[in-house]
């Protein structure tokens, strides 16, 4: 069975084509900088490797570009669009509507649209990816896999805010959390590595968006993001947790509109606001050259992560492993070192030689003396989406 997985971001489209249930990757790639004349397109298969800049102004154009290469007569991997049996879509926010994977219907699309205000950078792009895929692959079953689903097991004492009850009961205002597909995948990989029936794990997803989850016996029990993806850790352009009074001060004393504040906290803050750069590779380079703002931003980033590790170790009443994943978590030995320094009290000690080694495989980077495992687990949200999509129809 051919399963195409689409991960539509605000200005990007990641894709992987799998043969299932073998979990074989047929091809993969990404379209970045959608909306620009110099968009970047990558397509990798056994017969064809493309990396180029081209004009891609819409998600529809991006998916058409992908399908053109999938169906290339000489070097394509499909004979026709009908070969795709399932298209699995990553959808960031499922609200209280969805606690599992679902086949997409008109009602599902309407609910995804209604939640766009809660994830304005993601849900609209996710929905557009769905609508475009329906036109290009009309015979395929369209499936939505929600980032919030894995986090539905978090108990009420953790997800409820200390505001009047009616805001939860009437307006569904609560902590939802995000990156659930990634946290689910890497926590399962970590559990398999630990080979324990019962486990206490903290998963740390560090990319442009960052989040952490406390996972007990395979179930999430707490999470760093909240009602929206804005809360929690310091991210590429998002502020993370901030005193709500700052918003009132920006509006009432400094004259900012609510639209400006929303843009400030979501798109102009985080590492970008602290350093002028949103890409951690640039920040690490500038820090190594002596840039004081970049040095401080890295320390702040790691400090925030440490606070959550301490908090979650308490909630879990112990700890078997911490897991680093996603682009920064998998590739930045510096961030991992800054996070793990001075955590001896929790029996977390890093082996710097292991930490500095590069690998695409799951690996332990803790010292032999460390009672808590420090794992680097490459995430594979696309494979998890493919598995959940197939499971929907097989079971």
Digit-coded pLDDT (tens) for 61-104: 998 899 888 888 777 788 888 889 999 999 988 988 888 899 99
CB atoms within 10 A of CB 342: 11
Residue 207 marked as a ligand binder: yes
Digit-coded pLDDT (tens) for 176-193: 998 999 999 999 999 999
| Pairing state between β 12-19 and 24-32 | antiparallel
State the DSSP H helix or E strand holding residue 27, giving kind and residue range, or none if neither. Answer: strand 24-32
Contact 343, 306 (CB under 8 A): yes
Domain ranges of the chain: 2-146, 196-376
| CA distance linking residue 48 with residue 50, whole number of Å | 6
Q: What is the DSSP string of 271-337?
A: HHHHHS---HHHHHHHHHTT-HHHHHHHHHHHHHHHHHHHHHHHHHTS-SEEEEEHHHHHH-HHHHH
At residue 74, the pLDDT reads 76
At residue 395, the pLDDT reads 63
End-to-end Cα separation, the chain, in angstroms: 15
Sign of the four-CA dihedral 38, 116, 187, 237: positive
pLDDT tens per residue, the chain (395 residues)? 899 999 887 778 889 999 999 999 999 999 988 888 888 999 998 888 889 999 998 888 998 899 888 888 777 788 888 889 999 999 988 988 888 899 999 999 999 999 888 777 788 888 988 998 998 899 999 999 998 999 999 999 999 999 999 999 998 899 999 899 999 999 999 999 999 889 999 999 998 889 999 999 999 999 999 998 899 999 999 999 999 999 999 999 999 999 999 999 998 999 999 999 988 999 999 999 999 999 999 999 999 999 999 999 999 999 999 999 998 999 999 999 999 999 999 999 999 999 999 888 999 999 999 999 999 999 988 999 999 999 988 76
At residue 81, the pLDDT reads 84
Class of domain 196-376: alpha beta
Using only C-alpha atoms, the chain has a radius of gyration, in whole angstroms, of 21
Q: Does domain 2-146 have CATH number 3.40.50.300?
A: no
Residue 191 marked as a ligand binder: no
Residue 279 marked as a ligand binder: yes
| CA distance linking residue 324 with residue 301, whole number of Å | 14
Residue 328 marked as a ligand binder: yes
| CA distance linking residue 363 with residue 348, whole number of Å | 16
The first and second tokens of residue 34, run together, are 């959608």
DSSP state of 55: E
The first and second tokens of residue 6, run together, are 């689409």
Residue 93 marked as a ligand binder: no
Nearest Cα to 101, choosing from 154, 156, 153, 150?
150
Fold matches, 2-146 and 196-376: yes
Catalytic center residues: 147
Residue 51 marked as a ligand binder: no
Residue 304 marked as a ligand binder: no
| Pairing state between β 2-8 and 84-91 | parallel
Long-range contacts: 9-13, Cβ < 8 Å, 24+? 9/121, 9/122, 9/125, 10/121, 10/122, 10/125, 11/35, 11/125, 13/59, 13/62, 13/63, 13/66, 13/129
Residue 281 marked as a ligand binder: yes
User: Helix axis angle, 106-114 relative to 123-136, nearest 10°?
Assistant: 160
Contact 203, 323 (CB under 8 A): yes
């Amino acid at each position: 069975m051919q399963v195409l997985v689409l991960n539509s971001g605000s200005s990007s489209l990641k894709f992987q084509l799998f043969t299932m249930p073998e979990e074989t990757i047929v091809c993969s790639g990404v379209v970045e900088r959608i909306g620009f004349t110099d968009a970047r397109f990558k397509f990798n298969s056994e017969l064809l490797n493309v990396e180029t800049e081209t004009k891609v102004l819409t998600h529809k154009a991006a998916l058409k570009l992908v399908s053109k290469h999938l169906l290339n007569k000489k070097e394509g991997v499909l004979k026709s669009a009908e070969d795709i049996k399932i298209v699995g879509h990553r959808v960031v926010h499922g609200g209280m509507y969805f606690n599992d994977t679902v086949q997409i219907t008109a009602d599902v699309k309407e609910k995804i649209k209604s939640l766009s205000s809660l994830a304005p950078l993601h849900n609209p792009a996710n929905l557009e990816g769905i609508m475009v895929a329906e036109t290009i692959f009309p015979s395929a079953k369209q499936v939505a896999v929600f980032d919030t689903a894995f986090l539905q097991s978090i108990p009420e004492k953790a997800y409820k805010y200390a505001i009047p009850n009616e805001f939860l009961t009437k307006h569904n205002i609560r902590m939802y959390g995000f990156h659930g597909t990634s946290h689910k995948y890497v926590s399962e990989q970590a559990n398999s590595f630990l080979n324990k029936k019962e486990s206490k794990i903290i998963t740390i997803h560090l990319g442009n968006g960052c989040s952490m989850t406390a996972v007990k016996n395979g179930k999430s029990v707490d999470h760093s993001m909240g009602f929206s993806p804005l809360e929690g850790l310091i991210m590429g352009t998002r502020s993370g947790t901030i005193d709500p009074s700052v918003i009132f001060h920006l509006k009432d004393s400094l004259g900012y509109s609510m639209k400006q504040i929303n843009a400030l906290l979501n798109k102009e803050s985080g590492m970008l606001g602290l350093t002028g750069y949103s890409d951690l590779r640039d920040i690490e380079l500038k820090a190594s050259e002596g840039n004081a703002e970049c040095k401080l931003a890295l320390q702040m980033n790691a400090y925030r992560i440490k606070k959550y590790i301490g908090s979650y170790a308490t909630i879990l009443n112990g700890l078997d492993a911490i897991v680093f994943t996603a682009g920064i978590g998998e590739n930045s030995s510096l961030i991992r070192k800054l996070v793990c320094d001075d955590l001896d009290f929790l029996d977390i000690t890093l082996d710097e030689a292991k930490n500095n080694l590069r690998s695409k495989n799951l690996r332990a980077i803790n010292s032999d003396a460390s009672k808590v495992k420090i794992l680097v687990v490459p995430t594979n949200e696309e494979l998890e989406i493919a598995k959940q999509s197939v499971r929907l129809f097989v079971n």
